[in-house]
């Protein structure tokens, strides 16, 4: 009977765990849905913003070719020739229980760091999220400039994105960084995401052959107020802010999706374990009942 008592205790313990994982799954699903809706809205705005920047760049390029002059573009758009110092900003979470999310980010960061060091570059690493620091240490990366709590507290706000952008820019200036990259998770669907290192400063918007006629709409043409360079500077600044917001909301949506899936798997595993333990418990109980009946019958016959 001791085994039966142990099994009853184990079953109750697993049921309690199942309640916790199920609740965590529902909370993560709610947060994930909210982040996904925000992401869908921001992607449309970002797409329109890039299109407008391209329109100004095409116009400036056309003027340069016609007049043989060269415009001084905003610093955010100018690539550094032969960059030597890189800064990697690693975005992870403060909490675990989200599958391979944090370890995948750390692994992506490790590969990028090794790649840059092989090229002879100086790499400065800044971690955001407790799991970023611990993850990098597991992969043998100990040369870390600083570590901070996760950027996003609950649901991402525009103010948090601006604060993070200011932090990135301040570190670029203070540490004399040539290129700033962010290692994060790019959200695709609830079940899939990609882990990448994205260059954010300076950002690069490439013009293709398809963009040559971007300013032509039949007989209509685009006019620019204020001056094209002033407009490009303002659009570039706006792009920096929205780009940072998009990186962070992708990161948040990926984390919530990963935690939702992880807790869903944990809940399913708990259900399977409860089923297995219940079957074992019923088998032992039935065996104990049969043994008792046999003893009763044997005793009755002996009398």
We report the CATH number of the domain holding residue 17 as: 1.10.287.80
Are 157 and 221 in a shared domain? yes
The pLDDT of residue 295: 67
Are 15 and 147 in a shared domain? no
The pLDDT of residue 122: 93
Are 244 and 180 in a shared domain? yes
Are 220 and 291 in a shared domain? no
Q: Mapping DSSP to helix (H, G, I), strand (E, B) and coil, where does residue 137 land?
A: helix
CATH code where residue 192 lies: 3.40.1380.10
User: What phi-psi label fits residue 218: left (phi over 0), alpha (psi between -120 and 50 degrees) or beta?
Assistant: left
**Sign of torsion, CA 67 73 78 80?**
positive
Q: At what angle do helices 101-118 and 228-302 cross, to 10 degrees?
A: 130
The pLDDT of residue 185: 94
The pLDDT of residue 300: 65
Are 152 and 97 in a shared domain? yes
Are 188 and 281 in a shared domain? no
Q: Mapping DSSP to helix (H, G, I), strand (E, B) and coil, where does residue 90 land?
A: strand
Are 182 and 281 in a shared domain? no
The pLDDT of residue 69: 83
Per-block mean pLDDT, blocks of 10 residues, the chain (303 long): 79 92 92 89 86 85 81 82 92 90 94 93 93 90 89 86 92 92 92 92 80 72 76 89 92 92 92 90 81 69 65
Are 146 and 272 in a shared domain? no
The pLDDT of residue 303: 62
Are 272 and 238 in a shared domain? no
The pLDDT of residue 260: 93
Angle at 84 between CA 82 and CA 87, to 5 degrees: 125
| pTM beyond 0.75, yes or no | yes
The pLDDT of residue 289: 76
* Preceding amide of 83 cis, omega within 30: no
Are 62 and 210 in a shared domain? yes
Task: Residue 221: give the domain boundaries.
Answer: 30-260
Angle at 184 between CA 182 and CA 185, to 5 degrees: 150
Smallest CA-to-CA distance from 203 within 169, 170, 152 is with 169
Are 229 and 288 in a shared domain? no
Are 248 and 125 in a shared domain? yes
The pLDDT of residue 22: 92
What's the rounded Cα separation, in Å, for the pair 67 and 209? 21
Listed in order, strand segments (DSSP E) in 34-191 are 85-91, 122-128, 146-148, 179-187
Number of domains in the chain: 2
DSSP 215: T
């Amino acid at each position: 009977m001791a085994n039966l008592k142990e099994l009853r205790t184990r079953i109750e313990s697993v049921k309690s765990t199942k309640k916790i994982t199920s609740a965590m799954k529902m909370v993560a699903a709610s947060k994930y849905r909210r982040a996904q809706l925000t992401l869908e809205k921001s992607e449309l705005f970002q797409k329109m913003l890039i299109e407008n920047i391209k329109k100004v760049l095409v116009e400036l390029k056309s003027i340069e070719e016609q007049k043989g002059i060269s415009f001084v573009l905003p610093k955010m758009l100018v690539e550094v020739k032969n960059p030597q110092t890189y800064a990697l900003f690693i975005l992870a979470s403060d909490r675990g229980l989200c599958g391979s999310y944090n370890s995948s980010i750390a692994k992506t960061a490790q590969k990028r760091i090794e790649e840059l060091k092989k090229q002879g570059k100086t790499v400065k690493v800044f971690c955001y999220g407790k799991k970023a620091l611990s993850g990098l240490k597991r992969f043998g990366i100990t040369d870390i400039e600083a570590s901070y709590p996760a950027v996003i507290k609950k649901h991402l706000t525009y103010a948090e994105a601006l604060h993070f952008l200011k932090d990135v820019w301040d570190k670029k200036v203070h540490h004399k960084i040539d290129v700033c990259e962010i290692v994060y998770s790019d959200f695709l669907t609830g079940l899939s995401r990609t882990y990448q290192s994205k260059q954010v400063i300076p950002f690069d918007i490439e013009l293709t052959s398809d963009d040559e006629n971007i300013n032509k709409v039949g007989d209509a043409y685009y006019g620019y107020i204020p001056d094209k360079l002033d407009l490009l500077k303002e659009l570039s600044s706006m792009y920096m802010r929205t780009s940072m917001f998009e990186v962070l909301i992708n990161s948040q949506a990926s984390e919530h999706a990963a935690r939702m899936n992880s807790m869903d798997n944990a809940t399913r595993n708990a259900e399977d374990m409860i089923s297995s333990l219940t079957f074992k418990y019923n088998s032992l109980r039935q065996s104990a009942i049969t043994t008792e009946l046999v003893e009763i019958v044997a005793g009755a016959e002996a009398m």
